[in-house]
Amino acid sequence: MSTRRSVLKSLAAGTGVFSLSEVFAANEKALGAKLNGKINHSVCKWCYGKIPLDTFAQECKQMGITSIELLGPDDWPTLKKYGLTCALPNGAGMGIEKGFNDLALHDELVKSYEDLFPKLKEAGYTTVICFSGNRRGMSDIDGMRNCAIGLRRLMPSAEKYGITMIMELLNSKVNHKDYMCDHTSWGAGLCEMVGSQHFKLLYDIYHMSIMEGDVIATIKKYHKYIGHYHTGGVPGRNEIDEGQELYYPAIMKAIVDTGFKGYVAQEFIPKREPLASLKQCVQICDIA
């Protein structure tokens, strides 16, 4: 316990840098599966596709994870069975490449999301993911205006059902070529244009580290527009341990310092035993 206290006290004071192995070892020794509550932990199921959801839910519950996300209505009853939530359910759109920046898709997108909102409310969920779509030669300002037109059509229904639409920031450099919502400043501009607290951003730490860097300063600057976070090791989107370049305890502290009360979801592709890696990465993020 003294080791853990010294590690986390120094982190909080900004007076020391510890290896991720030290952070994990201290948390593991002191807490086991009991988490301290500063971070609400979620995980993206698609990274663990070979593990049946029923089994995965039980394992997550034992780790102290309270949400499994990016799932649709057919999977929600399984989460409820184990007392878990879905912090960010799947959207009703057409995938990542086709989104709100295309005016021709607005009628279909609006209808799809309006059909989904009552189901989300009935399940007790308050968020849903959405995407900008690819540029396809469109300027950033035209794409922002188009997105705002479509999203503003949905805000009355979103407010009625208590749903916040969360648009994901993705990198267009490595993984999602031509994706439009690829910089936090663009996403923040869209939030201002939509003008509703029921529209926010998913700040994916992996994607934005690749795209623009300066992760902690960006989180501090734009935190009021951010409704959700995803993790991932850089480069490669694997474990967030010492095999990659980001220091996640400091990033988690920055998130907590903004007053954020939402969820941080692990979204890395395990290179080792999946559940052991997931437990380790949750502990790395579980700052005091």
High-pLDDT (> 70) share of the chain, %: 89
pLDDT reported for residue 31:
43
pLDDT reported for residue 27:
52
The model's pTM: 0.89
Supply φ then ψ for residue 242, to 5 degrees.
-75, 0
182 C-beta neighbours (distance < 10 Å), count: 23
pLDDT reported for residue 92:
86
> Does pLDDT of 26 surpass 70?
no
pLDDT reported for residue 288:
83
Kindly list the domain boundaries of the chain, sorted by start residue: 2-285
Residues in CB range of 146: below 8 A, 6 or more apart: 100, 101, 102, 103, 138
Number of H helices, E strands in the chain: 11, 7
**Average of per-residue pLDDT values in the chain:** 92
162 C-beta neighbours (distance < 10 Å), count: 14
For the four alpha carbons of 134, 138, 141 and 146, in that order, the dihedral sign comes to negative
pLDDT reported for residue 194:
98
Among candidate residues 53, 165, 148, 58, the one with its CA nearest the CA of residue 106: 148
Cβ atoms of 100 and 147 within 8 Å: the answer is yes
> Does pLDDT of 29 surpass 80?
no
- At residue 7 the predicted structure's pLDDT band, cuts being 50, 70 and 90, is very low
Cα distance between residue 223 and residue 132, in whole Å: 20
155 C-beta neighbours (distance < 10 Å), count: 17
The CATH class of 2-285 is alpha beta
